[in-house]
Structure 1
């Protein structure tokens, strides 16, 4: 297994699997030039690792944070273009000043005043949906926006997890109780240094694509891939584990969202019942069915606190059979079970230390 490319860690994401997980299945079930697809692309691990292995790779996610980060890694710009744009943004910020910053207790405690002005300027200036240069800068900013700033000079915020954004009221109380203050950071300096670090090992020889959209519309959105996908490697949202609208709220704000968390804003976020969850996944598999080549291998990492192992297996098998319209499934590899360890939320949110388990399925429609 090769060393992890620094672009993989540009922005952490909840329930992300490691690059080696993707590498193992890409090498086992595809050849160079084959098509790999991830309908829940998250931080883009499947897409980027597949590109590094010279496979054509595509992804899709309904969460703007995921689409921004995955898209940035799927089709990165040049170092020169990024450094020119960061220098231009710095000059514009110096010349033009900045729009009014959020006037809330959270933002005042989360960021130093000078840092917040730079962040708001970038939020208002970056056109991440149509410029791949701006998208990459936005993705880097998302990865630096919050984190353990007492350990890393690359984090813009007061102390927070890097993986999730803690709620405003809880954060303010926690910072005040512990005497924590926001560090002064120069956002432009950090972004320029990040470019040099992230590109230290170059980029893949081919580019891919990751889009913002609903998995249930995947076949319509990727018409050029119909019948061409040889491998799916994905991790759907876990039942009762996270609400991406709430837990990614600060990054969503940076991309143009609200100044306060809003739950249940994505159709494939956390579901309250197993019945609704399996209905959603059935519809998701229907959404990608038209993209799959004959004998396509499907790798799924999935979990959830509410499932007994037998119920989880039955749910995966039934949703795939019904969603893909197949009579049976070939089990390519035995089910693998692993415990989730060292979760960052254990430090920042008391009461989150319960044991959680993930399951890996490797299957083919038959």
Structure 2
């Protein structure tokens, strides 16, 4: 017997907060990403509000958490984003090649690699300071050979992006290809250069191909390709593609950008180099503003488009964090409802407060700026028309999902 969702809607965070912190398929950690919500959260809503075969969509797909959870639970997972980094990461999780195919492709690229034929003379100094010459030649070769429009190559690109920079373990062994760096973000090039000089950091000699093969062993990949969805480049303020409107997703679950919390391009300049992109150009494409008026206008366009997409009996959930404005926290989700969504005719099931443990927030590392980090995420749960929510059946969280078992935890 389920628990009445409408009666205890404010208690819903207890459902996903009860899961082990490290719960989730290994592919969720393929590459880190700023402002990512945990897979437990996405899993709960996909399991609760959809059935196998339904379509699930995230218009700000980030690292692909929602589409991956959809695919793992036998749904169709769709994701779009204006950030090319997000598109690659999400595509890798909706169209997952087999381990055998991936190893075969990597062997082909390695067999054609002749170090003396690969020039690194024209690579930016900011990149060259991170990698040994031999490692950089391997990366440059992979960069030239991999075609991210191909599913197998795209998966390798995403895997490489997750290893381009990482810290070293306590014994000094590199976890990635670079000097010891945080794996979530890349500090400004000037800061990194100064840090290297002050601490005498030495570029590690690592074999990229060997490290990639080792990484693959930990990802619990399918024995046959899983094409469970699709990812594409899209500005959420632009009209949705007609084919998506025909799909009528049962659930749209997403976390739009907040009020100027972070520059996604600026702190991913190393990964964007591998994608042939520049951080300044990427940040120009993405919503980042401290103007509440502009933000509400942005959300108006986004929500108007999503109303054309979601199924008549479907649901939309926005995850929107509180934002520090001066000495006070702004309940941004409430502002979006009051000033935008209410006038569009959405049915509000509730605004659910989900308090975030501060030791889990990436932005705590910014010291004097850390107060800008949101302490509360709020989930704006909507439907295009009035309807009842299904009962909640608590998850046991005792079983990890895999591609071999496409059933949800509650099966």
1:243 pairs with 2:260? no
Long gaps (5+) in structure 2:
1-18, 386-411
CA contact (8 A) 1:165 1:248 kept: yes
**Which residue in 2 is equivalent to 1:351?**
368
Aligned counterpart for 2:47 among listed residues 17, 23, 27: 27
Residue 144 of structure 1: SS of its match in structure 2? coil
Residue 215 of structure 1: SS of its match in structure 2? coil
1:361 pairs with 2:380? yes
Residue 102 of structure 2: SS of its match in structure 1? helix
1:134 pairs with 2:168? no
**Which residue in 2 is equivalent to 1:77?**
97
CA contact (8 A) 1:30 1:231 kept: yes
Q: Distance in 2 between matches of 1:101 and 1:287?
A: 47
RMSD between superposed Cα atoms in Å? 2.5
1:156 pairs with 2:173? no
Deviations 1:248-303 (A, max 9, x none): 22111110123xx4266343332131111111121112222211111321122122
Q: TM-score, normalised by structure 1?
A: 0.89
Of 231-240 and 280-289, more deviation after overlay is shown by 280-289
Structure 1's 310 and 246: CA in aligned 2 closer, same or farther, altered over 3 A?
closer
CA contact (8 A) 2:349 2:382 kept: yes
Per the TM alignment, residue 132 of structure 1 is displaced from its structure 2 partner at its CA by 0.7
Structure 1's 352 and 175: CA in aligned 2 closer, same or farther, altered over 3 A?
farther
Deviations 1:214-270 (A, max 9, x none): 1123522x5244361111111111212111121222111110123xx4266343332
Structure 1's 246 and 333: CA in aligned 2 closer, same or farther, altered over 3 A?
closer
**Which residue in 1 is equivalent to 2:195?**
174
Aligned counterpart for 2:311 among listed residues 293, 301, 306: 293
Residue 238 of structure 2: SS of its match in structure 1? helix
Q: Distance in 2 between matches of 1:31 and 1:79?
A: 28
Residue 281 of structure 1: SS of its match in structure 2? helix
Long gaps (5+) in structure 1:
none
Of 54-63 and 284-293, more deviation after overlay is shown by 284-293
Per the TM alignment, residue 189 of structure 1 is displaced from its structure 2 partner at its CA by 0.9
Q: Distance in 1 between matches of 2:329 and 2:114?
A: 57
**Which residue in 1 is equivalent to 2:72?**
52
Deviations 1:156-197 (A, max 9, x none): 111222121211001111222222222111111111222222
CA contact (8 A) 1:243 1:269 kept: no
**Which residue in 1 is equivalent to 2:406?**
none
Residue 233 of structure 1: SS of its match in structure 2? strand
1:7 pairs with 2:24? no
Q: Distance in 1 between matches of 2:237 and 2:353?
A: 26
Q: TM-score, normalised by structure 2?
A: 0.80
**Which residue in 2 is equivalent to 1:91?**
111
**Which residue in 2 is equivalent to 1:40?**
60
Structure 1's 337 and 345: CA in aligned 2 closer, same or farther, altered over 3 A?
closer
CA contact (8 A) 2:250 2:315 kept: yes
Q: Which protein shows a greater Rg?
A: 2
Q: Distance in 1 between matches of 2:261 and 2:306?
A: 24
Higher relative contact order structure (alpha carbons within 8 Å, sequence separation ≥ 6): 2
